[in-house]
Chains A and B, each alone.
Chain A
């Protein structure tokens, strides 16, 4: 039985797909068989971030409609063994993800994997609700910015009331916060919400903090999950987050202002 992890946020553009690619790659690198599924029907993008866009033949909806088998649709990652990708369909039919179809595909994936990472679309429409429904765990990706924090709280409400676990009266989804695009200098200047602020407002466990980093764009340009860029700050932050996800304790590396000036070194602590 695989554990199903949804990467969600409500708001768009905060780093869900980047995080899905990084987490799935990190889990597979740690030796866990992992499938990452793009739920953004009509706006497929995970394949591009993972660098396998030219290998998509069949997609999620093809498998639901039984036009292809799951094995035909799954794309095996060429860099990391034990990692495969299920691309979203480019159909404009919003109802393509049927309840039964999604349940069946996740069940089948769950037989051969340890983790299923569900990359949720933005918003709280059908695709997002379907991605959240089956989850055992949720990673709420949030930027330290008012609209993202508000949307994250909204999504937390949905996770606790509209999930399968909630309906069946089981133990609730484990919800954890991943704060992305964090700029420690701006936090120090009082221009940006701090990790503590966001945690206090949302009231959930912290999984990681990813600094605002050029590495993220560079990696997506090249179709490489940023976690594989091991000498970059964002890559290392994702490695830490994956290790924490797997139960390891790791200190937070990117919460303090990196380069201290002469003044800071003379008078700082």
Chain B
């Protein structure tokens, strides 16, 4: 009986819920970029270029996140380096 129920459930996926989840993630990301200073995308791009002078990384390697804490703005910078180490 349960398997029959879950069969019907999996057949009929709640697409509205999927839409809502996707939108919430997307909108949150776009808002955090929008509220930041205009130079952020350029800064991100230049940082990427500087890093590439030393190591080959992909476009996603530099992640920036701007947070506001009262009057204070915190720019969080996350750089992911490739697995292999050359020493």
Contacts and interface: CB of A to CB of B under 8 A. Distances in A.
A197 B27 CA distance: 13
Given A153-B30, A153-B31, A154-B30, A201 B23 contact: yes
A150 B19 CA distance: 11
Contact of A157 (B17, B26, B34): B34
A268 interface: no
Interface residues of B, number: 15
A146 B24 CA distance: 10
Interface string B25-68: 01100110010000000000000000000000000000000000
A140 interface: no
B23 A146 contact: yes
Interface stretch (A57-65, A187-195, A251-259): A187-195
B30 A187 contact: no
Contacts of B31: 153, 157
Interface string A160-172: 0100000000000
Given A157-B31, A157-B34, A150 B16 contact: no
B16 A153 contact: no
A26 B53 CA distance: 63
Interface residues of A, number: 18
A193 B19 contact: yes
Interface in A188-225: 190-194, 197, 200-202
B63 to A, nearest CB: 21
A201 B16 CA distance: 13
Nearest to A152: B27
18 contacts: A145-B19, A146-B19, A146-B23, A150-B23, A150-B27, A150-B30, A153-B27, A157-B30, A157-B34, A190-B12, A190-B15, A191-B16, A193-B20, A194-B16, A197-B16, A197-B20, A201-B27, A202-B27
Interface of B: 12, 14-17, 19-20, 22-24, 26-27, 30-31, 34
Interface of A: 145-146, 149-150, 153-154, 157, 161, 187, 190-194, 197, 200-202
Given A157-B34, A190-B14, A197-B20, 7 more contacts: A145-B19, A149-B23, A150-B30, A153-B27, A157-B30, A187-B16, A193-B20
